[in-house]
Amino acid sequence: MKMMKCDIRAERESAIQGGATWTIPAAKLLLWGFIAVATTSQAQSRSNEQKALFQKATAVWTAFQNKDMKTMQTLMSPNFVFIGKEGILSGAEVGAQNCTLHSFALKSDQMRPLGSRAAVLTYRAEQDYECNGQTESKELLVSDSFSFIDGKWLLVAHAEVAPVGPAMP
C-alpha cells in the first residue's frame, strides 16, 4: 500500500515551531474523496426531489384554486386522502366542496424521504378562501405524503392543521 506524506504546520501560534509529519494510506484518501462526492451527490439529489415535490404541491393548490379537477387527478393517487377541519375526504370529495381559494402562498418546505419510493413534504401555507359563504384568511401547517407510482410522484395524502399558539419559524 502506497503511503502519502502530509506536512502539518501550526501557524496560529508563534510558540509552535516546525511541524509534524504523518502518513495516510492513499486508499483512505481516495475513499474519503468518494464519500465526499457521494454525500454531495445525495444532498443535491434530495434537493432536486424536494424542489420537484414542492412544485407538485404548488400545482395541486393551483389546480384547486382554478377548480381544475382533471389536473388534480393527474397529480393525486387514485386513493388520495385529505385530512383537515372538514374531516377525512377523498379527492372527489375535495373537488366537490363549495369552496373558492382566492389566494395562497406556500413557504418553509422541508422533505423527509421514506425510502426510494415515498417522501413527506412539510410546509406552511397562507390562504384566503371562501367556503359555504364564509370568507377566511388562515395560516396552516401542512404535511403532504408522496409516493412514486407508475414512474411519477403522486400525492397520496394531504393533512393540514391551523397552528396553535405563537407563530414558529
> Residue 10 falls within a domain, yes or no?
no
Domain tally, the chain: 1
Q: Model pTM greater than 0.85? A: no
DSSP track, 59-90? HHHHHHHTT-HHHHHHHEEEEEEEEETTEEEE
Instruction: Tell me whether residue 139 is in a domain.
Output: yes
Rounded to the nearest integer, the mean pLDDT of the chain is 78
Taking residues 49-56, what's their average pLDDT? 92
Count of beta carbons in the 10 Å neighbourhood of residue 71: 15
pLDDT > 50? residue 11: no
Residue 81 lies in a domain: yes
Give the pLDDT score at 42.
45
Which run of H or of E encompasses 48?
helix 26-65
CATH number at residue 61: 3.10.450.50
pLDDT above 80 (res 90): yes
Please check whether residue 17 lies inside any domain of the structure.
Answer: no
Averaged pLDDT for residues 26-40? 41
Which residue reads 374531516 in cell numbers? 87
Please report which confidence band the pLDDT of residue 46 belongs to, taking 50, 70 and 90 as the band edges.
Answer: low
8 belongs to a structural domain: no
- pLDDT, tens digit (0-9, with 9 covering 90-100), for 53-78: 999 999 999 999 999 989 999 999 99
Residues 112-147 have pLDDT tens digits of 999 999 999 999 999 999 988 889 888 999 999 999
- The verdict on residue 16 lying in a domain is no
Domain containing residue 86 = 27-161
